[in-house]
Amino acid sequence: MEPLLKQSRSLCPFLKKTAPSTLRALSTSSSPSAGGGTMSNLQIVAKRCPVMSKALAVQSVRSASFGRRAASVSSIQKRNIVVPSKAVNFNTSNPAHAQAADLEDIHRKVGVFDSANPDKPVCPHGQAAMHAAKLAGKLTPVNGARVTRPSKVFEKVQCTAKFDYEGFYQNEIDKKHADKSYRYFNNINRLAKDFPQAHLDTPDKLVTAWCSNDYLGMGRNPEVLKAMHETLDMYGAGAGGTRNISGHNKHAIELEASLAKLHSKDAALVFSSCFVANDATLATLGSKMPDCVFLSDSLNHSSMIQGIRHSGAKKMVFKHNDVADLEAKLASLPLHVPKIIAFESVYSMCGSIGPIEEIQDLAEKYGALTFLDEVHAVGMYGPHGAGVAEHLDWEAHAAGKPKGTIMDRIDIITGTLGKAYGCVGGYIAGSARFVDTIRSLAPGFIFTTSLPPATMAGATAAIEYQYANSADRIKQQEHVAIVKDALEKRDFPVIPNPSHIVPVLVGNAALARKASDMLLENHGIYVQAINYPTVPKGQERLRITPTPGHTRPFREQLYAALEDVWTTLELKRTSDWALEGGLCGVGVPEAKPEPIWTPEQLAGGSAKKAEEVVMKTGRSVEKTILEKEMGVASGVVA
């Protein structure tokens, strides 16, 4: 059908304006016709077109006059000429037949020839009729029967049995195994009293978790646990329903108030997860705003990709953190068209930081909304833990003056309660009208059971604790600096970035899996392998996330274990990647960016202490920090 459509669209308005999928749908459904029987919906619609209607009439007359299986045709007809070489008996009282006869006669007299004689002129109207007639002939139901065309898969074989669902499942799983992207799940049971340790299937099998997103150890924070215990005892396990039925309570109100305060926004709204928050919010905005266009960073999280897809709105993908590419795409759109720029602050698999201020400047210039995902940054950056947007204006937020800051200018901020805050759930924050719109329209919020009261109480306690205390995130950043420095000195291929993520490049799915298994089985260290589709094929890695609890003994164990694994599996080191031209910044000269946390910020705002941390003669950052190591922060021994 597609070749005919391509040939006919330039001449036939009906075909030009109708999508192939619509034509297929019309051709495979039918309705009762005026003369009895049924007629495909394509024929019914096509009769309104001046070209298609006449073409269908011509096709109908031919079918009636010559039959579908004529035993003989003239030599001219064999050459695929549109009109028959001999006149057709058009003596009929049917107006459509008479009209077809006139059309046939006109084109026969003018001369409609096939491609074998290209020097002859061709009537454009007749040419369109020719293609339309061929198309109509292919799509016309035989004998007026109702037609449902099977897919090509089922046209090849005769179906004699029911669909094999279990076989389908097995085939999909086999494909995941074949391309080495099958996901394995380890039985890891984190121990609150022994953080960052966990046990496997039995309590005696201890391992050290090095890839948890509980970045600050807040999952075992005494104040968080106390709030959850008290709430659980008083209010029970569950919320009792969705927010609009029985799940709206003081815990939700207090949590959303804390989140709004954290981000200096009018309001906030809590969801069951940030995946749901991103999906529901983007899908709702994109489907409700007329002609909305999304501009999405190429490394955006699946939740944002899914939300944009569910919205049905148009999407333009810009290169990762490339503001020039983003501006070119923004400039191509009319100013009045609603636009939403969706991006992240910390990209969790590579550790890169989004150019938040530059993107916000472009958004204001071209009339776009900004949708900033701070999932891997909340609790981790800024004087109050609000994320990278707050961190960029440290002094202003530390002084309690958020007005006009980068975070204040961002339209929509999303975050999670399940990573640095150690609980579960997600949220959005923004203007009161925006939040009320999502609260009123988003199915992902309206029809989802509310988080349990104890969970919301624990999350509120975690947010308030980190709002007032920065010791955990400072300690975490210090440990990140130590680990990155130590791994780089040992030639391990750490993907350079300015954040708290420590991605170690492997570059092969099977080897990444083997490395993860060896660490767990031989060394009691749990680091999950990251493979496709989370990262592109060929960029598989181990993702290490130091916490305040990963003290020197744990770190020394990690270095020795990685040395054994890299040597045994003959994995590439940074120097090896450099010989190949580098990958993901590994082995690339001058690719190492400065950490987002400055020495002064790590020293609590004291320039003198900052100098002591990084500039003492003959002392490295690692050695200076190690000397401070027996301090205590939020119940976690450093």
pLDDT, one tens digit per residue, over 452-490 is 999 999 999 999 999 999 999 999 999 999 999 999 999
Q: Alpha-carbon distance 104 to 91, whole Å?
A: 14
Pick the CATH number of 469-637 from 3.90.1150.10, 3.30.70.660, 3.30.70.1230, 1.10.3720.10: 3.90.1150.10
Band of pLDDT at residue 207, cut at 50, 70 and 90: very high
Please, what is the average pLDDT of the chain? 83
Average pLDDT of span 356-384: 98
pLDDT for 634:
40
pLDDT for 180:
85
Q: Alpha-carbon distance 423 to 216, whole Å?
A: 12
- Confidence check: pLDDT of 80 > 90: no
Q: Alpha-carbon distance 320 to 307, whole Å?
A: 19
Nearest to 427 by CA among 249, 263, 245: 263
pLDDT digits (tens, 9 = 90+) for 388-425: 999 999 999 999 999 999 999 999 999 999 999 999 99
Q: What share of the chain has pLDDT > 90, as a percent? A: 67
pLDDT digits (tens, 9 = 90+) for 59-71: 665 555 444 444 4
CATH class for the region spanning 247-468: alpha beta
Q: Alpha-carbon distance 596 to 355, whole Å?
A: 12
Average pLDDT of span 37-54: 68
pLDDT for 623:
47
Range(s) of the chain covered by CATH 3.90.1150.10: 469-637
pLDDT digits (tens, 9 = 90+) for 257-270: 999 999 999 999 99
CB contact burial 323-334 (16+ within 10 A = b; e otherwise): bebbbebbeebe
pLDDT for 39:
72
Band of pLDDT at residue 40, cut at 50, 70 and 90: confident
pLDDT for 589:
87
| Token digits of residue 146 | 């109702």
| 233 contact partners, CB below 8 Å, separation of at least 6 | none
pLDDT for 158:
63
- Confidence check: pLDDT of 581 > 50: yes
pLDDT digits (tens, 9 = 90+) for 211-253: 999 999 999 999 999 999 999 999 999 999 999 999 999 999 9
Question: Any idea which residues carry the catalytic annotation?
Answer: 419
Sequential DSSP letters for 419-463: STTSS--EEEEE-HHHHHHHHHH-HHHHTSBPPPHHHHHHHHHHH
Residue 234 pairs in a beta bridge with none
Let me know if 459 is exposed, middle or buried by CB neighbors in 10 A (0-12, 13-18, 19+). Answer: buried
Range(s) of the chain covered by CATH 3.40.640.10: 247-468
- Confidence check: pLDDT of 26 > 80: no
- Confidence check: pLDDT of 346 > 80: yes
| Token digits of residue 548 | 């305040």
